[in-house]
Structure 1
Amino acid sequence: MALDYSILSSICVGIVCVQIIHIVLPWLYANIIGPTFFGPKINLCQMGAWAVVTGATDGIGKAYAKALAKKGINVILISRSLSKLEAVAKELTDAYKVQIKIIDIDFKDGPQIYQKIEKNITGLDIGVLVNNVGISYLYPEFFIEYITRYPQFLRDIISVNIHSVTNMCGLVLPNMIAKKKGVIINVSSFFAVIASPLLSVYSGTKAFVDKFSEDLQTEYQSQGIIVQSLRPSFVITNMTHNLKLNLFAPSAEVYVDSALKTVGIAGKTNGYFPHALLALFAYLSGNYITKIVHFKEFLRIKSLLSKSEKEI
């Protein structure tokens, strides 16, 4: 029986079209249609009188704290630097006339820190949790070389990037469930879902955050809880070595303003349209190409930043 290549080619084209639609349509809704025409679907002020933000003194965390305070929500700021916490608390109180509580703890420390947090938040009507605190590599590096140079790194990054998220969710979820409403925003990373050579441990911890958020949402969505995984690419913060501001690397304030519009629209989101474009390109071009491009680029960054670090 002769093979009808026209039928075969039509089938192949059909399969490709279905795959593209499967990727592109949800992307369009999450990044353009939803936020522009329907979002934000959630009034965060109605979730509760208080919000909790971890890693709240710089970058994305501070931007979330500011944005929530601007909406009239009282904010609990959690970070390790008491002086920075006091400065941010004064800034928010003066600007927005809301109540601010501060909790100075280092998420690298042991489980006892969560007893301190629990003591300070007990009895408060918490409607929003932003799990933002995180650490990364000082510079891209091969796994063995990095953990040999920084043997404490593996313990620290898991404590900060993973344990903080699970423990903070464990603290706030019971009251959210009891009142059948609440929003949890877990800051994952663009690198959680694309090839990230030389950042293997960081991207691995953020992949955990992404998967944990997805399944937590499935568990508790019927009880009025919204759990969102946020996947930012480069944002101008201390963690990104304050790279030069550009369209694809916005300020934290610009990024958070965009990301908040996706709450209730997208369970997983890049939060910012240019970042979503990068993600779409990575998905459509294939992981093999992304591996090659990122490996080459991270080797270049490794060379620059490791040299700078040695000179300090």
Structure 2
Amino acid sequence: MKSLLEVFFTSLGGAVVVYYGVKLLLVTKMLYPKMWFPLPKSFFSSMGEWAVVTGASEGIGREYAFALAEQGMNVVIMSRTKATLEQLAKEIGEATSRTVKVLVADFTEDKVFGDIEEQLKDLNIGVLVNNVGMLPSNVPKRFLEDTDLDQMCKTLLPGMENRGKGVIINVSSGIACIPFPMYSLYAASKIFVERFSQGLQAEYKEKGMLIQAVTPFGVSTRMIGYQATDMVTLSPRDFVKSSLQYLRAGDRTYGSICHMFLGWLIRSTPRKILYADSVLNGLQEYVEKKQAKTRSISTLSVA
């Protein structure tokens, strides 16, 4: 008869194998999102006739607007820059034949949401992409500020709830996976976006809503100085295309395999190493050099 100790260690070993087997299965699911999280071709258009994208004039917001129009939705695009929005509306209309409504909105003004609600009240809105966000400095600093607004959810949720369906994508950031030095306040504000989004999903999931926080790391936009794309820094189009494949993967996603592994690596690295002055200074120098290289290439291209 086996001793109690043998039974204990056998059971423990079995539990460890099962635990890591499940972990491996979850990783496998992330590698094949089209197989594990399929979306019907008419999924987005079935949510409603219109999609709303904030911060849509460039970068990630622009690509979400294009992607949703390509999925058969009419799109409301918002930002502060009217000329850029009108040009984007023209491009989306010509490429997809969908209707695009331009709405100039400065989200730093208190009265902006009343104006937005008035202009959207008659639209059947099925998808909201909350992409408004500002990074005050392209290069990491010791003190950063960021403002993220959640009033768009408050404006559009009631209509989605009444119809019993809708999609809200809240764009957070991968650096919110840990307390992140050099981006302290920015990372803190983004964890708010993530937790807020997850809380909403818990509240409204049973009412047919799909609310997800998307948490990318590097995406080549103006926010990070249009850094050159590579395995980690994705183009906005590639990131949005990838992230939409994970729409049914849960209430939070990195949006791409490479960013998922980067998040795992950061979370697995001892904080004493991540927070060492040499590492923080190295991060700052790396970003500065990468942006200088990008500017140099741009200058040569213009010349």
- The answer to whether TM tops 0.5 is yes
Residue of structure 2 in register with 1:149 after alignment: none
Kindly state the Cα deviation for residue 45 of structure 1 after the two structures are TM-superposed.
1.2
For residue 235 of structure 1, the aligned residue among 219, 234, 238 is 219
Residue of structure 1 in register with 2:170 after alignment: 186
Letter in 2 for 1:131: N
Q: Percent of aligned positions with the same letter in both sequences?
A: 32
| Matches of 1:77 and 1:46, distance apart in 2 | 20
User: What is the SS of the residue equivalent to 1:64?
Assistant: helix
Residue of structure 1 in register with 2:197 after alignment: 213
| Matches of 2:44 and 2:187, distance apart in 1 | 29
| Matches of 2:204 and 2:279, distance apart in 1 | 36
Q: TM-score, normalised by structure 1?
A: 0.82
Write out per-residue CA displacement over residues 180-206 of structure 1, whole angstroms, 9 at most, x where no aligned residue.
Answer: 000000000001113421111110110
Kindly state the Cα deviation for residue 97 of structure 1 after the two structures are TM-superposed.
0.9
| Matches of 1:201 and 1:13, distance apart in 2 | 42
Write out per-residue CA displacement over residues 140-177 of structure 1, whole angstroms, 9 at most, x where no aligned residue.
Answer: 1112xx6xxxxxxx4xx32xx1x2xx200001100100
Write out per-residue CA displacement over residues 20-45 of structure 1, whole angstroms, 9 at most, x where no aligned residue.
Answer: 5675544443x224444432368111
Residue of structure 2 in register with 1:85 after alignment: 85
Residue of structure 2 in register with 1:71 after alignment: 71
Letter in 2 for 1:214: Q
Kindly state the Cα deviation for residue 122 of structure 1 after the two structures are TM-superposed.
0.4
Residue of structure 2 in register with 1:277 after alignment: 261
Name which of structure 1's ranges 35-44 and 298-307 shifts more when overlaid on structure 2: 298-307
User: What is the SS of the residue equivalent to 1:239?
Assistant: helix
Letter in 1 for 2:81: S
Letter in 2 for 1:254: D
Preserved contact between residue 37 and residue 245 of structure 2 (Cα < 8 Å): no
Residue of structure 1 in register with 2:157 after alignment: 173
Name which of structure 1's ranges 192-201 and 222-231 shifts more when overlaid on structure 2: 192-201
Letter in 2 for 1:133: V
User: What is the SS of the residue equivalent to 1:107?
Assistant: coil
Q: In the alignment, is residue 204 of structure 1 matched against residue 192 of structure 2?
A: no
Kindly state the Cα deviation for residue 137 of structure 1 after the two structures are TM-superposed.
3.0
Name which of structure 1's ranges 262-271 and 118-127 shifts more when overlaid on structure 2: 262-271
Preserved contact between residue 177 and residue 267 of structure 2 (Cα < 8 Å): no
Write out per-residue CA displacement over residues 121-143 of structure 1, whole angstroms, 9 at most, x where no aligned residue.
Answer: 10111000000111113121112
Kindly state the Cα deviation for residue 5 of structure 1 after the two structures are TM-superposed.
10
Preserved contact between residue 40 and residue 262 of structure 1 (Cα < 8 Å): no
Cα gap change, 1:303 to 1:45, in 2 (>3 Å): closer
Kindly state the Cα deviation for residue 254 of structure 1 after the two structures are TM-superposed.
0.6
Letter in 2 for 1:200: S
Preserved contact between residue 262 and residue 269 of structure 1 (Cα < 8 Å): yes
Unaligned runs of 5+ in 1: 147-153
For residue 284 of structure 2, the aligned residue among 299, 303, 311 is 299
Name which of structure 1's ranges 222-231 and 286-295 shifts more when overlaid on structure 2: 286-295
RMSD (CA atoms): 2.8
Name which of structure 1's ranges 213-222 and 190-199 shifts more when overlaid on structure 2: 190-199
Kindly state the Cα deviation for residue 115 of structure 1 after the two structures are TM-superposed.
0.8
Unaligned runs of 5+ in 2: 294-303
**Which protein, 1 or 2, shows the higher relative CO under an 8 Å CA cutoff with sep ≥ 6?**
1
Preserved contact between residue 227 and residue 291 of structure 2 (Cα < 8 Å): no
Kindly state the Cα deviation for residue 303 of structure 1 after the two structures are TM-superposed.
6.1
Q: TM-score, normalised by structure 2?
A: 0.85
| Matches of 1:289 and 1:8, distance apart in 2 | 36
